[in-house]
């Protein structure tokens, strides 16, 4: 065991501070060093992939990925390939591309649809043909939310409602001329399109590498707020209650859209935290059998069960590059460092 960790970052991007790093990167690095370990930051560029691999493969025990995929000019393909090479060379990934894809992709919801976390009428469309054949029937059951794969800040997340005064029953395949009211979560703006026009527009989310759309039931109680749990490994750190802006069409819980955030302790949401913690083995098993990510979030919405009691529905998992800059003064970076050291030490003991 080398007691040495590398943190990967991308150059530039809106998530950087005046020192060129994410605001939470150097606190993590310093917390790891405070435990008597070595740690350094390496910037990733596609053209440096082989140099970075040769530099890192024998020097470090593990890597921590702190790159927002949107900050890689050529996308994440080469970066993920390099991380996979390092994992195959023996480095512990926090997190590996497989974990980021299995937990962070929107179709994680589909894989969890037969659990208590996600409604069973949650679907994924991986090709245009299935989408155009199925969605006209899906929308007949009521308001739906369509989510592009691995989008962020509400981009490509649409609340879809039938706006026509036409006669139909659940299970009917609605005509392509049906007028829809479509609200995008990124800023709660509204567009009116026909069903045919909207499905044609959504093809952009399906074509290309890792393209797909998740189709799930709209949760009216989103107006009461989205509840985000920030996790370090399997430990809940804090809960963010994100209440959408006032307005009939507003359903987005992003700051950009005007949502209001309050930060609570896990014990303030004891019922939700217990349910989620009890579900972690199921989540891990359904999403590939991997350990949970190093730093990740799970977003929930309120619903009612058959007895009209509160019920929590999972809406999204994020793990590619979750930040916690608002809580650095509470020492979360030290919890991250403890988890990093624990994972490396346990792996070394298991291999001994």
Per the structure, the complete domain to which residue 318 belongs is given by 103-109+221-324
Same domain, 266 and 194: no
User: What is the pLDDT at residue 153?
Assistant: 66
Say if CB 337 and CB 31 are below 8 A apart: yes
CB-based burial label for 65 (10 Å; 0-12, 13-18, 19+): buried
Residue 11 resides in a domain: yes
CATH number of the domain at 12, please: 3.40.50
Paired tokens of 322:
């979750």
Residue 294 resides in a domain: yes
Share of the chain above pLDDT 70, in %: 95
Residue 167 resides in a domain: yes
User: What is the pLDDT at residue 79?
Assistant: 96
Of residues 41, 40, 46, the one with CA closest to residue 79? 46
Please give the Cα distance from 39 to 53 (Å, whole number): 16
Same domain, 208 and 247: no
Domain closes at, from 219, 246, 267: 219
Residue range 220-277, pLDDT digits in tens: 888 888 899 999 999 999 999 988 766 655 555 565 556 788 899 999 999 999 999 9
Same domain, 200 and 164: yes
Same domain, 239 and 197: no
Same domain, 134 and 215: yes
Residue 114 resides in a domain: no
Residue 41 resides in a domain: yes
User: What is the pLDDT at residue 96?
Assistant: 95
Residue range 2-11, pLDDT digits in tens: 999 999 999 9
CATH number of the domain at 302, please: 3.30.470.20
User: What is the pLDDT at residue 7?
Assistant: 98
Same domain, 215 and 229: no
Domain count, the chain: 3
Using 50, 70 and 90 to split pLDDT, how confident is the model at 326?
confident
Domain closes at, from 219, 252, 273: 219
CATH number of the domain at 188, please: 3.90.70
Using 50, 70 and 90 to split pLDDT, how confident is the model at 25?
very high
Residue 239 resides in a domain: yes
Domain closes at, from 197, 219, 241: 219
Same domain, 236 and 283: yes
User: What is the pLDDT at residue 251?
Assistant: 59
Same domain, 209 and 126: yes
CB-based burial label for 209 (10 Å; 0-12, 13-18, 19+): exposed
Please give the Cα distance from 333 to 25 (Å, whole number): 9
Same domain, 71 and 15: yes
Kindly report the average pLDDT of the chain as a whole number.
91
Same domain, 215 and 225: no
Pairing of strands 4-9, 62-65: parallel
Residue 51 resides in a domain: yes
Same domain, 195 and 278: no
Burial string for 139-177 (b: 16+ CB within 10 Å, else e) reads bbeebbbbbbbbebebebbbbbbbeeeeeeeeeeebeee
Number of residues assigned to the chain: 352
User: What is the pLDDT at residue 107?
Assistant: 87
Same domain, 75 and 127: no
Mean pLDDT of 25-48: 97
Residue 115 resides in a domain: no
Name the pTM for this structure.
0.87
Long-range CB contacts (within 8 A, 24+) of 178-183: 178/136, 178/139, 180/139, 182/158, 183/158, 183/159, 183/249, 183/251
Please give the Cα distance from 52 to 46 (Å, whole number): 10
Say if CB 343 and CB 92 are below 8 A apart: yes
User: What is the pLDDT at residue 82?
Assistant: 97
Using 50, 70 and 90 to split pLDDT, how confident is the model at 210?
confident
Please give the Cα distance from 116 to 279 (Å, whole number): 9
Residue 327 scores a pLDDT above 90: no
């Amino acid at each position: 065991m080398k007691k040495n960790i590398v943190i990967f970052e991308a150059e530039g991007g809106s998530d950087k501070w005046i020192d060129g790093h994410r605001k939470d990167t150097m606190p993590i690095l310093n917390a790891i060093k405070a435990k008597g370990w070595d740690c350094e930051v390496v910037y990733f560029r596609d053209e440096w992939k082989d140099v970075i691999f040769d530099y890192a493969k024998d020097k470090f025990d593990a890597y921590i990925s702190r790159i927002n995929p949107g900050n890689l000019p050529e996308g994440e393909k080469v970066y993920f390939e390099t991380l996979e090479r390092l994992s195959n060379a023996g480095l512990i990934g926090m997190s590996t591309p497989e974990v980021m894809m299995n937990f962070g992709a929107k179709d994680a919801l589909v894989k969890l649809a037969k659990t208590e976390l996600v409604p069973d009428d949650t679907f994924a469309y991986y090709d245009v043909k299935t989408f155009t054949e199925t969605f006209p029937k899906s929308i007949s059951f009521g308001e739906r939310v369509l989510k592009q794969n691995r989008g962020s800040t509400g981009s490509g997340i649409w609340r879809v409602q039938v706006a026509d005064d036409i006669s139909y029953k659940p299970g009917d395949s609605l005509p392509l001329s049906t007028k829809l009211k479509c609200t995008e979560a990124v800023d709660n703006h509204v567009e009116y399109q026909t069903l045919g026009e909207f499905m044609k527009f959504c093809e952009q989310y399906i074509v290309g590498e890792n393209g797909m759309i998740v189709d799930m039931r709209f949760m009216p109680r989103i107006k009461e707020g989205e509840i985000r749990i920030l996790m370090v490994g399997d430990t809940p750190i804090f809960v963010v209650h994100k209440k959408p802006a006032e307005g009939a069409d507003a359903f987005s819980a992003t700051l950009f859209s005007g949502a209001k955030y309050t930060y609570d302790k896990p014990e303030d949401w004891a019922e939700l935290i217990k349910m989620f913690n009890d579900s972690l083995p199921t989540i891990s098993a359904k999403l590939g059998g991997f350990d949970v990510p190093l730093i990740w979030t799970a977003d929930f919405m309120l619903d009612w069960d058959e007895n009209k009691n509160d019920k929590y529905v999972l809406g999204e998992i994020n793990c590619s590059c979750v930040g916690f800059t608002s809580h650095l003064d509470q020492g979360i970076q030290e919890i991250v460092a403890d988890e990093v050291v624990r994972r490396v030490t346990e792996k070394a003991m298991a291999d001994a």
